[in-house]
């Protein structure tokens, strides 16, 4: 029997998103929503998980789920291989979009803007904070490249473990951080009957401009 998706839907019941109560600075609102997501979303949901979208040289979009590792007035940071598919996309077209979805709160946030690499010292510091197994994995994996099979990856990891058995594991040159500097943030709050609330923030020379979008 074929799987039917047409009638799968839920009725959203949370309170709305009112402009009168929304801060002028979208980063303040994002911080509040992220904290509430951390407090309410149930495992195995990771509140800082996001979908990152990039565009390749042919103009084709690509999406994947990553973890946000920090945010402040300069932007939103994440890490990965510079030679991966997303790294190659960003080297050619340094713009990206990220989306957070918190089903327990019936919320999502969309963020768009230019992306640049973090200072190597920042990437070094974060890399050393990772568990040893993750640091070894960064060396062992030729991310996004074709492998013969799982045994190929296991062999690469075993070689890496032997290589660094008696020495510290430094950050690979091809691995590091990125910062997306937001030019647009949209906050979406689910409402009944699909009449959702959407507040859109656009970065202007004199600050953030906020508007309401139709659902």
Q: Tell me whether residue 68 is annotated as binding.
A: yes
Q: Tell me whether residue 144 is annotated as binding.
A: yes
Q: Tell me whether residue 199 is annotated as binding.
A: no
Q: Tell me whether residue 196 is annotated as binding.
A: yes
Q: Tell me whether residue 195 is annotated as binding.
A: yes
Query: The dihedral of CA 122, 128, 131, 135: what is its sign?
Result: positive
Q: Tell me whether residue 188 is annotated as binding.
A: yes
Q: Tell me whether residue 82 is annotated as binding.
A: no
Contacts (Cβ under 8 Å, ≥6 apart) of 162 = none
Q: Tell me whether residue 107 is annotated as binding.
A: no
Q: Tell me whether residue 10 is annotated as binding.
A: yes
Residue 114 is given by DSSP the state: E
Q: Tell me whether residue 86 is annotated as binding.
A: yes
On the CB side of 48, CA atoms within 13 Å amount to: 11
Helix/strand/coil (H, E, C) string of 52-113?
A: EEEECCCCCEEEEEEECCEEECCEEEEEEECCCHHHHHHHHCCEEEEEEEEHHHCEEEEEEE
Q: Tell me whether residue 60 is annotated as binding.
A: no
Instruction: Using CB atoms within 10 Å of the CB of residue 20, give its burial: 0 to 12 exposed, 13 to 18 middle, 19+ buried.
Output: exposed
Phi, psi for 185 (deg, rounded to 5): -130, 135
Name the token pair of 30.
């994002």
Q: Tell me whether residue 11 is annotated as binding.
A: yes
Q: Tell me whether residue 129 is annotated as binding.
A: no
- Residue carrying structure tokens 């402009």: 19
Q: Tell me whether residue 194 is annotated as binding.
A: yes
Q: Tell me whether residue 29 is annotated as binding.
A: no
Q: Tell me whether residue 184 is annotated as binding.
A: no
Binding-site annotation, residues: 9-12, 64-69, 86, 108, 126, 130, 134, 143-144, 188, 194-196, 198
Binding-site annotation, residues for FMN: 64-69, 86, 108, 143-144, 188, 198
Binding-site annotation, residues for substrate: 9-12, 69, 126, 130, 134, 194-196
């Amino acid at each position: 029997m074929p799987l039917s998706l047409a009638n799968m839907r839920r009725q959203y019941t949370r309170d709305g998103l009112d402009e009168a109560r929304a801060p002028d600075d979208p980063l303040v609102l994002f911080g509040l929503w992220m904290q509430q997501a951390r407090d309410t979303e149930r495992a195995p949901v990771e509140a800082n998980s996001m979908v990152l979208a990039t565009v390749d040289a042919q103009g084709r979009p690509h999406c994947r789920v990553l973890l946000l590792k920090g945010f402040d007035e300069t932007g939103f940071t994440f890490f990965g291989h510079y030679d991966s598919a997303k790294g190659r996309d960003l080297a050619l077209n340094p713009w990206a979009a990220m989306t957070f979805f918190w089903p327990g709160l019936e919320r999502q946030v969309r963020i768009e803007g230019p992306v640049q690499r973090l200072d190597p010292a920042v990437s070094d510091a974060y890399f050393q904070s990772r568990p040893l197994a993750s640091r070894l994995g960064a060396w062992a994996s030729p991310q996004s490249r074709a492998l013969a099979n799982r045994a190929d990856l296991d062999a690469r990891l075993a070689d890496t473990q032997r290589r660094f058995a008696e020495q510290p594991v430094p950050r690979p040159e091809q691995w590091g951080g990125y910062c997306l500097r937001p030019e647009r943030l949209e906050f979406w709050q689910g409402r009944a009957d699909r009449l959702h609330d959407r507040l859109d923030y656009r970065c202007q020379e004199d600050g953030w401009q906020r508007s309401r979008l139709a659902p």
